């Protein structure tokens, strides 16, 4: 029997991504893969083996086509008439972090591990972040 690696046996790396230089969907797929730990040889779907990801410039995230006006974000309060709809431009103005968090959350597995994976996603509106001590590496080089 081959011994498996536990999450306590690994050291988690830190990565940084500039959202102003990458298209939203393609960037979020890379982020989701790293949060799940699929970029490691010791990946195991039943363990949370992922690394931390810092996303800066969330307010300047790049979208293509007419998504700025046509992509809708819906929230429902649970009461009759409680469905609120906003397009991407309105969400970007009020809470730009939600754009990236919503996209990445949809790409993670639907299990209990998704919450733990999302805790390792750190999204910032501007270029400043408070994780310099972790020495983050560039995630997407293109």
CATH classification of the domain holding 106: 3.90.1180.10
Instruction: Please check whether residue 85 lies inside any domain of the structure.
Output: no
Instruction: Please check whether residue 6 lies inside any domain of the structure.
Output: no
Instruction: Please check whether residue 75 lies inside any domain of the structure.
Output: no
Are 34 and 51 within 8 A, CB to CB? yes
CA dist 124 and 59 (Å) reads 8
Identify the pLDDT of residue 3.
74
Identify the pLDDT of residue 6.
86
Instruction: Please check whether residue 69 lies inside any domain of the structure.
Output: no
Mean pLDDT calculated for residue range 5-18: 93
- Answer positive or negative: Cα dihedral of 106, 56, 25, 37: negative
The count of structural domains within the chain is 1
Instruction: Please check whether residue 38 lies inside any domain of the structure.
Output: yes
Domain limits at 45? 11-64+95-137
Instruction: Please check whether residue 2 lies inside any domain of the structure.
Output: no
Instruction: Please check whether residue 50 lies inside any domain of the structure.
Output: yes
Q: What is the pLDDT of residues 87-114, one digit of tens each?
A: 999 999 999 999 999 999 999 999 999 9
The answer to whether residue 1 scores a pLDDT higher than 80 is no
Q: What is the pLDDT of residues 37-58, one digit of tens each?
A: 999 998 999 999 999 999 999 9
Instruction: Please check whether residue 87 lies inside any domain of the structure.
Output: no
């Amino acid at each position: 029997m081959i011994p498996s690696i536990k999450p306590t046996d690994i050291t988690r790396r830190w990565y940084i991504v500039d959202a102003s230089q990458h298209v939203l969907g393609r960037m979020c797929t890379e982020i989701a893969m790293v949060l799940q730990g699929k970029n490691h040889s010791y990946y195991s779907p039943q363990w949370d083996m992922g690394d931390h990801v810092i996303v800066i410039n969330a307010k300047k995230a790049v979208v293509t086509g007419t998504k700025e006006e046509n992509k809708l974000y819906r929230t429902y309060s649970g009461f009759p008439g409680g469905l609120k709809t906003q397009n991407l431009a309105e969400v970007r103005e009020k809470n730009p972090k939600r754009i990236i968090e919503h996209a990445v959350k949809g790409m993670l597995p639907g299990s209990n591990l998704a919450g733990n994976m999302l805790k390792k996603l750190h999204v910032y509106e501007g270029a400043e972040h408070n994780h310099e001590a972790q020495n983050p590496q560039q995630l997407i080089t293109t």
